[in-house]
Amino acid sequence: MREKRMLKTLENEKGQNLVEFALVIPLLLLLVIGIAEFGRAWMTKNILTGAAREAVRIAAVNTPYGGYDNAISRANVILDSASIPEGSRSVYVNIPGASYSDVTATVSYYFPVLFAGFIPGLPNDNILLSSTTTMRKEY
C-alpha cells in the first residue's frame, strides 16, 4: 500500500526536473560567463601594468636605450606581443626635466567585453582599463 502511494506521488512530479533546470541555467551561465570575462579583464590589466613598468623603467635610466621614444616603443612591443590592438590603446610617458624627479608612464586600453548584453550592469561594450607607474629618475 505504501509503495503505491510513493509511485503515485512520483507520477505527479514528472517534468519537475526540467522546470528546475530551466530556472537555474540562466543564473549558472551568468556566473560562468562573468567569471570568464573577469579573468580576461584581470589578465589584460596585468599586461598593461607590465607595459607601464617597462616603459617607466626605460625612461628613468640614463642609458643609450633610455628616453621618451624608446620607452613608448618598448611599451608598444609588449602590448603587440599580447595582441592588444593599436587603435584602442594609448601610452603616455611624462619625463620631467629636473634630475631625480618622478617619471610616470600610463597605459590605457578600451577592453572589449565579449558578452556585454548578457552581463547586466555593464554600461557599454568597452571598459577602460588603465595602469600608471611612477619611478624616480636615476640621473
Q: Which of 8-12, 42-46, 71-75, 87-91 is predicted with the least confidence, judged by mean pLDDT? A: 8-12
Give the strand pairing for 126-136 and 102-112: antiparallel
Q: Indicate the pLDDT class of residue 69, thresholds 50, 70 and 90.
A: confident
Question: How many independent structural domains does the chain possess?
Answer: 1
**C-alpha radius of gyration, the chain, whole number:** 26
pLDDT at residue number 76: 95
Q: Which range marks the domain in which residue 132 is found?
A: 2-136
Q: Residue 117: its pLDDT value, please?
A: 66
Residues 135 and 52 sit within 8 Å (Cβ to Cβ): no
